Structure 1
Amino acid sequence: MIRLAVAGTAHPHVEYVLSELAHQPNVQLVGISEPDPAAAQRYTGGLDVPTYTSHEELLDTHDVDAVAVCGEYGARADVVVAALQRGAHVLADKPLCTTLDDLDRIDKAARTADRLVSIMFEKRGHPVTIAARQLVEDGVLGDLALVASTGPHKLNRESRPAWFFDRTRYGGILGDLPVHDIDLVLALSGARAGSVAGRVGNRSLPEYPGFSDNGAVLLGADGVTATIEAHWMWPAASAYHGQYRMRLTGTSGTAELDWALGTLAVVTRDRDVHHPELGAPVRPAEDFLTALVAGRHPEVGTADSLVATRIALLAQLSADTGGVPQNWSR
């Protein structure tokens, strides 16, 4: 039996963890912490587990095997480090943390404790992603050369907490939204080193001068060049929270992923546009918890989680310093 604690319910992605429990009979939720009573009630109502106002009290009270971290962004690093120091593995919502110094603390704590840190990169589990990665692995697209992705999001301003618009508590848009696509570029390319540059803007929220509602990343990943744009300006009337898309261009073909519509369109040198058969999805918290129960390593481990986060934070640093490119390596 895996004893799981949830530290923080500030973001709806905590539902990825809570909903997964119905599929994991060998995982026991032992407690939840959240300093904001309203946020706590939103997700803990009806759950027969103790709740706490601080992660310290939660971790001092329960001996746990894993901690799911889904709290306020700027506070996540302290929670992650505390969980690791108590010998627990960590499953984290993105962003893992909001500063490079915090990332270094997490890296050190994970190494010292010899415990896993895994981010819920939910795009990995979508059927279109799984099929596209297989195309690249099988060489159907030839050598991958370019990746272009877009990550539009609805702001839903009325439901956003005050901390979301505070740069010191939220971090920055490039440390947050593009990290999913950065992770996929690394997974698709297998890149070990490169450079990253970022640019941000604020076109719709002048009353929050420290907040960016749009941004773009130029990522060099060995021989692959990726452009990643993300914003909080997706129209409220849309049926989707955001129509996230990615185009993969290789020497022998192109693949277009549309996560909102759940489609994958492929065209190659010898075959016109076609739609490969898609398989079943993998739920965002499924692989991590299943791996812990089985005693195996999850697909997204500490190295993948840290390098994608580092690149995203370096992109934000680049944007904050006039777009100066930053080098990265595994």
Structure 2
Amino acid sequence: MPRIAIIGAAHPHVDYVLDELTRADRAAFELVGVQDSDPAVAAHHAARFGVPAFDRAEDLLAEGVDVAVIAGVYGARGADAVAALRAGAHVLADKPLCTSLAELDEIEAVASEVDRTVNLLLEKRGYPETLAALDVVRAGELGDIVGVTSSGPHKLNRAQRPGWFFDPAQYGGILTDLSVHDLDAALLFAPADEGVIRGAVSAPLDGAQGFTRYGSATLTTPNTVVSAEVSWLTPQASDVHGDYRLRLVGTRGTAEIFWARGRVEVTTDDQPTRALDLPPGRRPAEEALDAFADGRTPEVGTRDSLAPTRLALLAQASADQGGTALAWSRPAD
């Protein structure tokens, strides 16, 4: 029976895993305990499952853990991931995995050293719209994908955010945080192993020095140009938290993904614009927990978790350096 521990629960995305564990078909998993630097946060989630709450990650990891779920304060996640790996656990993490390139390098090295996997909860991969568009791309209907443009706006809801969220040392920057999903989607639709990335940010927030509300990342690979914009600028009166969108431009057609609207439109040289039928989606932690239960590596394993994380961190580093072009490449398998 796989033993799961929550190492950091400050972000609501921890519920991706906790809600999954409440399902009857997840009885094969044992939740060992919940840890967070805020005792009240740990106690809240622990009480829901009748398990112990821990103040220190090392104390919980000492209980013997097969899978460590990392969902705490962003600035603590890198160290938590390394500690979990060294304790012999696979890592299942909310994004961002960490907030610095040095931390990512250490995570990559330790994961290889101890032969454990790092797995990000990249929930957009399981959305019905993504799955429908991916079928069209893989069938070759759009030809070669040469351009990917995405928009990821969010409501800031400032009054509801904890103080650490506006601390650059703990938050890591808007591109570190928000661009991971769309950069991952770009690599899903247009696979690449190398490229050049640039980042830019704007719209500083009054009273929160170093916190910006708009960012863009531009990735150029040998075959595709990717542009991902993200923001904390969704208008408060909007009917959605974020009107997330992605446009694919191919040599034989285009696809428009409207994630927030539940719609995908495809136009090709052979067919006029049509809306795709959407398949069932997947819950954010569903596939990963299925994989752990079966004793296999989740679909989003170490290689596919580290790539968009590194791209996002490089984009943030580029923005911090005034838009300097930075090289990116995946390590060989």
- How does the TM-score come out when normalised to structure 1? 0.97
Q: Show the 5 A alignment for 1:200-219.
A: 200-203=201-204, 205-219=205-219
Moved more, 39-48 or 125-134: 39-48
**1:41: Cα distance to partner?**
4.5
Moved more, 191-200 or 18-27: 18-27
Structure 2 unpaired stretches of 5+: none
**1:237: Cα distance to partner?**
2.2
**1:221: Cα distance to partner?**
2.5
Q: Retained in 1: the 8 A contact 2:92–2:121?
A: yes
Structure 1 unpaired stretches of 5+: none
- Deviation per residue, 1:232-262 (Å, 9 max, x gap): 1111222311110000010111111111111
Letter in 1 for 2:190: S
Q: Corresponding residue for 2:108?
A: 107
Q: Corresponding residue for 2:237?
A: 237
Letter in 2 for 1:110: A
- Deviation per residue, 1:291-320 (Å, 9 max, x gap): 111122211010111111111100001000
Q: Retained in 2: the 8 A contact 1:197–1:318?
A: yes
- Aligned-partner Cα distance in 2 for 1:215–1:39: 30
Q: Corresponding residue for 1:26?
A: 28
Q: Retained in 1: the 8 A contact 2:54–2:60?
A: yes
> In structure 2, do the counterparts of structure 1 residues 63 and 107 end up closer, same or farther at CA, with 3 Å as the change threshold?
same
- Aligned-partner Cα distance in 1 for 2:163–2:280: 38
Q: Corresponding residue for 1:136?
A: 137
- Aligned-partner Cα distance in 1 for 2:249–2:45: 41
Per the alignment, in what secondary structure is the counterpart of residue 98 of structure 1?
Answer: coil
- Aligned-partner Cα distance in 1 for 2:42–2:54: 9
Q: Retained in 1: the 8 A contact 2:156–2:232?
A: yes
Q: Corresponding residue for 1:11?
A: 11
Per the alignment, in what secondary structure is the counterpart of residue 26 of structure 1?
Answer: coil
Match of 2:57 among 10, 30, 55: 55
Letter in 2 for 1:129: T
Q: Does residue 225 of structure 1 match 2:237?
A: no
Q: Show the 5 A alignment for 1:47-86.
A: 47-60=49-62, 62-86=63-87
Q: Retained in 2: the 8 A contact 1:318–1:324?
A: yes
Q: Give the count of matched residue pairs.
A: 328
- Aligned-partner Cα distance in 1 for 2:58–2:87: 10
Q: Retained in 1: the 8 A contact 2:248–2:255?
A: yes
- Deviation per residue, 1:203-257 (Å, 9 max, x gap): 4x22212111110111113211011000111112223111100000101111111
Q: Corresponding residue for 1:307?
A: 307
Q: Retained in 2: the 8 A contact 1:291–1:298?
A: yes
Alignment RMSD (CA, Å): 1.1
- How does the TM-score come out when normalised to structure 2? 0.96
- Aligned-partner Cα distance in 1 for 2:166–2:245: 26
- Aligned-partner Cα distance in 2 for 1:293–1:43: 22
Moved more, 35-44 or 269-278: 35-44
Per the alignment, in what secondary structure is the counterpart of residue 184 of structure 1?
Answer: helix
Letter in 1 for 2:273: V
**1:43: Cα distance to partner?**
3.4
Per the alignment, in what secondary structure is the counterpart of residue 303 of structure 2?
Answer: helix
Letter in 2 for 1:91: L
Q: Corresponding residue for 2:194?
A: 193
Q: Retained in 2: the 8 A contact 1:186–1:221?
A: no
Q: Corresponding residue for 1:294?
A: 294
**1:273: Cα distance to partner?**
1.2
Letter in 2 for 1:154: K
